Structure 1
């Protein structure tokens, strides 16, 4: 777990310690402070950021020490920035002491999501004391930076949308079956082993007959996301030519005037190059603006 504090305990003058940025939206619980102040035993060490002496964890204990007139308090020092200090404050308040409320934990997850957008849902959930499903829902409701990969609790980086990347790899393998696994992995943004798995499943599934171009164009025309957008309608018009049967192309070629055949051939090659570039764009994993 990040930002652990296991350094030596130091006795510090109470007046030198300052209040911190607590994850508790409602502030400290006075009843809990009084309960701590009434105990005869010493208070467990609090965590204080070294550079400004602000409390990271232990505001209730600090207030209890002041309430009962203690001159010194046990401290473990933490070295880190504001965001790291907040993460540590949330984690420690989830695992011991007076638990954070559900509202506090959700608010904390939202803040951590903003400062550590590359963390996985499970990692944030572990820190904030929530389920991964709850964190995922908060992330959907409050869109923010969206890196291509996220850091898991095990320290490994994983693609944000592995399913989409596997689909990209599948499409690449279908169009270029002889491509090396390393190149497929590079284009799709996956590991070579994942590319190997995709190829194996394609091989096990066997050849899948593709619908004829005319049928595919009809299906595309029935999709409202294409039919009701300007770019979609442009694409459909361009794809109309793809639905022309081979015998029709042969008839068209036979009737091109001799003095235009070279020009039309060059234009056809340029069109083919444009379509290939378009296809490669579609097969490249998209990155979201952060």
Structure 2
């Protein structure tokens, strides 16, 4: 049994003893069911004389985890109380428990509902392997992997927990990007803490932190000789000087969305930017590009103006490139000597 399955089973074993709770205190479930509860199933439960199992409730929110049909049947009977077992864990684990319970018994979840549940678990538990999530949702690992690819576009973590309990790293680059995000979110976190969560060495985390402080991409660029090939040379516009700073160079295209967002959040917390008009203007300009869904926008562009918009997008990219070069040059330019002031006494 995988550690993730053991974790789900442990969630069930951590439930409280059975208690009688007033029905009026309970809130609707955060259910994996897309279309709500089935009235016919509620009617059949209400007609049954057999005692029904206690429902499971998330104590912090008082939302039903498992047993909404039983709760509605009890209300139809006119009951004021219902037997409950409480779960005290986080909401994300409560949802996993709800999916596991509804897949195994009661009114089964449809394939579409299980797929939607898998998508949500991928987001809340991204370190779980495809097979582990498949074991919770009763889907194939291939289906879960397809959903992960749709969400992240690429494996979004440096390591995943497999069904055998072992943590397997994916790539060092992904680990560096995760570390960059964690550093931006928790600047005071220790190197060891971030290293453990990102699946990389503390020394690598230190290098990532230093790169971010210098404004560089957390993933070092590979030597040109290692990546050189028979590619055509694209002439650069005369006004665009090739920047030497890695953050503004070719690595920018390879920077993951996660890393860009982490770097942007870090800049937003910088008082030297937030407290100046120019800094706020820059952040607002960047925010528009960060929030935009480029693929959705491109798909909605009318065909008759596609060429013009493409040309304008290229022109805007050139403007940003110029700005990047100017910022870099300004930051590293030597201070100009101050000219001596002329005495007014000697002026003619």
Paired residue secondary structure (1:158):
strand
Please name the residue that 2:129 is paired with. Answer: 120
SS of corresponding position for 1:5: helix
| 1:151 to partner: Cα distance | 1.5
- Residues 15 and 158 (structure 1 numbering): CA distance in 2 closer, same or farther, change over 3 Å? same
For the residues of structure 2 that align with 1:67 and 1:59, how far apart are their CA atoms?
A: 12
How far off is 1:21 after superposition? 0.9
* 2:74 matches 1:55: no
Matched with 1:5 is 12
* Corresponding residue number in structure 2 for 1:105: 114
Cross-structure match for 1:132: 141
Q: Quick one: which of 160, 164, 173 aligns to 1:154?
A: 164
Partner of 2:97: 88
The offset of 1:230, in angstroms, is: 7.9
Bigger Cα displacement from structure 2, 135-144 vs 25-34: 135-144
Cα distance per residue 1:142-180 (max 9 Å; x no partner): 226711001123332112369xxxxxxxxxxxxxxxxxx
**Structure 1 gap ranges (5+):** 163-188, 191-215, 232-285
2:100 and 2:132 mapped to 1: Cα distance?
A: 11
- Contact 1:46 1:57 survives alignment (8 Å): yes
Q: 1:126 to 1:288 in 2, by over 3 A?
A: farther
- Determine the C-alpha separation between the residues in 2 that align with 1:117 and 1:88: 16
- Residues 146, 289 of structure 1: 8 Å contact kept: no
Aligned 1:157-196 pairs, distance under 5 A: 157-160=167-170
| 1:95 Cα offset (Å) | 1.1
Count residues with an aligned counterpart.
Answer: 184
Give the conservation status (yes or no) of the 8 Å contact 1:43–1:74. no
For residues 235 and 88 of structure 2, what CA distance do their matches in structure 1 show?
Answer: 55
- TM-score, length basis structure 1: 0.56
Measure the CA separation in 2 of the matches of 1:287 and 1:146.
12
Aligned-pair Cα RMSD in Å = 3.2
Q: Per-residue CA shift, 1:181-200, capped at 9, x if unaligned?
A: xxxxxxxx89xxxxxxxxxx
> Is the CA contact (8 Å cut-off) linking 1:5 and 1:77 kept in structure 2?
no
Superposed displacement of residue 289, structure 1: 5.1
The SS at the match of 1:89 is helix
How many angstroms apart in 1 are the aligned matches of 2:19 and 2:36? 26
Q: Distance in 2 between matches of 1:28 and 1:40?
A: 21
The TM-score with structure 2 as length reference comes to: 0.47
Distance 1:227 1:44, change over 3 A: farther
**Shift, 1:68, TM fit:** 1.2
Question: Which residue in the other structure is 2:270 paired with?
Answer: none
Query: Secondary structure of 1:125's match?
Result: helix
Mark the runs of 5 or more structure 2 residues left unpaired by the alignment: 173-198, 201-224, 237-253, 259-348
Sort the Cα spacing of 1:68 and 1:141 in 2 relative to 1 into closer, same or farther, 3 A: same
Query: In structure 2, do the counterparts of structure 1 residues 31 and 149 end up closer, same or farther at CA, with 3 Å as the change threshold?
Result: same
Describe the shift of the 1:133–1:50 C-alpha distance in structure 2 as closer, same or farther (beyond 3 A): same
- State the SS of the aligned residue for 1:109: helix
Runs of 4+ in 1 over 6 A off after TM superposition: 228-231
- Shift of the 288–155 alpha-carbon distance from structure 1 to 2, 3 Å rule, reads farther
Shift of 1:123: 1.0
Q: What is the CA–CA distance in structure 2 between the aligned matches of 1:132 and 1:40, rounded to whole Å?
A: 40
Secondary structure at the counterpart of residue 35 of structure 2: coil
Deviations 1:215-253 (A, max 9, x none): x99x942xxxx448789xxxxxxxxxxxxxxxxxxxxxx
Are 2:19 and 1:19 equivalent residues in the alignment?
Answer: no
SS at match of 1:141: helix
Q: CA deviation at 1:19?
A: 1.0
- In structure 1, C-alpha distance between the alignment counterparts of 2:51 and 2:76, rounded to whole Å: 14
Structure 2 CA distance for aligned equivalents of residues 69 and 48 of structure 1: 20
